[in-house]
Amino acid sequence: MPQFLAEPIARLIDEFGKLPGIGPKTAQRLTFFLLRQPAGEALALADAIAEVKEKIIFCGRCFNLSATDPCHICASESRDRTRLCVVEEPLDILVLEKTGIYKGLYHVLHGSFSPMEGILEDDLKIAELVERVKQGGVDEVIVATNATVEGEATANLVRVRLRPFGIRITRLAQGLPIGSDLEYADDYTLSRALEGRREY
């Protein structure tokens, strides 16, 4: 950081720069935007960040982010408990829920299988997924990992681990572009992918 910047400003620019998708110029713009705002608005942002770190936990069933355990999806009696949709990250649930089509439960793996990057099976919530299926009541597992090399490797690993249970395993239809993440897909594409899922 330039020497002429006050240390608190330089520090905030550095912190913003650590966020995904935020480059140096955007970090500077965000910092100077906050400096122009009333103190109450800047403090509200700081409070929101502190609160999310203090109060948000992982659901003990699906490993989604939640303020309660179980999360509101797992606790809902209106959800179809015979279906389990496996996703890589909590953000994927938000994207799928926006379609309004899927009414089952979820399981978040918290990553994708990528030995090249040091992410192995034990780093994911696959053992917990196997345990959920082993407990019974699940007729179908929908594998909704991303359409990337790592996502496909993860999907294959899930299929291999669940095959012994004799349940239906489906994969989202390839209406999703190869190499993209679920969070960037539009509602229509996701809806078609859910409706056109195939046996896996």
Q: Which two tokens stand for residue 103?
A: 């009414």
% residues pLDDT > 70 (the chain): 92
**How confident is the prediction for the chain on average, in pLDDT?**
92
Comma-separated ranges of CATH 1.10.8.420 domains in the chain: 7-55
For the four alpha carbons of 48, 21, 99 and 149, in that order, the dihedral sign comes to negative
Rounded distance between C-alpha atoms, residue 161 and residue 119, angstroms: 17
Q: Which two tokens stand for residue 21?
A: 């998708």
Rounded distance between C-alpha atoms, residue 64 and residue 70, angstroms: 9
* pLDDT digit string, tens, across residues 112-129: 999 999 999 999 999 999
The CATH fold assigned to 7-55 is Helicase, Ruva Protein; domain 3 (1.10.8)
Cβ proximity of 147 and 177 under 8 Å: yes
Q: 158 vs 17, 66, 91, 135, 163, CA distance in Å?
A: 35, 24, 20, 16, 8
Comma-separated ranges of CATH 3.40.1360.10 domains in the chain: 78-199
Q: 86 vs 21, 53, 106, 158, CA distance in Å?
A: 26, 25, 6, 9
**Is the model's pLDDT at 132 over the cut of 80?**
yes
- In the three-class reduction of DSSP (H, G, I as helix; E, B as strand; rest coil), residue 32 is classed as helix
**Is the model's pLDDT at 198 over the cut of 70?**
no
State the pLDDT at residue 199.
Answer: 73
* pLDDT digit string, tens, across residues 66-83: 999 999 999 999 999 999
Q: Give the pLDDT band (50/70/90) at residue 176.
A: low
* pLDDT digit string, tens, across residues 29-53: 999 999 999 999 999 999 999 999 9
State the pLDDT at residue 148.
Answer: 85
Cβ proximity of 96 and 102 under 8 Å: yes
Q: 184 vs 19, 130, 147, 157, 177, CA distance in Å?
A: 18, 28, 12, 24, 10
Architecture of domain 78-199: 3-Layer(aba) Sandwich (3.40)
- Strand-pairing partners, residue 86, are 107, 143
